[in-house]
Amino acid sequence: MHEISLLESVLETLETQAKQQGFQQVKQVVLEIGALSCVEADALRFGFEVVMKNSLAEHAELVIIKIAGQGICPKCQQQVLLETLHDPCHHCGSFGVTVLQGQSMRIKELIVI
């Protein structure tokens, strides 16, 4: 389950930030997860408590902001909302929509003490 590896790198970032920004405890972690990224929000929530145990973010609240998938149609050049990587263009029906947004997984911000 790669959600665990991803959360471990989130924890590493929290630890680095704690040194750089001088905080001891994390109360809230806000992640932006693209609808087309290959992680499950539920799996992240499940893993979060496990990975953050005994860390500076033990008991922190996890907030997940979903970022919609967006692309541009190679044929009609219009913007397309995407729910999956294989959605056809909803204007002209072509496949192969170029993804512009929705694949990323970001740590947006933290509430810290």
Partner 1 sequence: MCGICGCGSSKLSPLKPHHHHHDDKHSHSHAQETHGERLVRVEQDILAKNDGYAEQNRQYFQQHGIFALNFVSSPGAGKTTLLVATINALKNTRPIFVIEGDQQTDLDADRIRATGVAALQINTGKACHLDAHDIGHAVQSLKVPDNSLLAIENVGNLVCPSSFDLGEAHKVVVLSVTEGDDKPLKYPDMFHAADLMIINKIDLLPYTNFDVDRCIEFAKRINPAIEVLQLSATQEHTMGAWLEWLNQH
The site for partner 1 (CB under 8 A) is made up of: 1-2, 4-6, 9-10, 12-13, 17, 21, 23-25, 27, 31, 37-39, 59-61, 74, 84-86, 88, 95-96, 99, 104-113
Output the smallest distance, CB 19 to Zn ion, in A. 48
Binders of Zn ion among residues 69 to 98 (CB under 5 A) are 73, 75-76, 89, 91-92, 94
Give the Cα separation of 24 and 12 in Å (integer): 14
Q: Dig out the tokens for 24 from the structure.
A: 């001891």
Q: Which residue blocks in the chain are alpha helix, DSSP H?
A: 2-21, 41-52
* Cα-Cα end-to-end distance for the chain: 31
Binding region for Zn ion (CB under 5 A)? 73, 75-76, 89, 91-92, 94
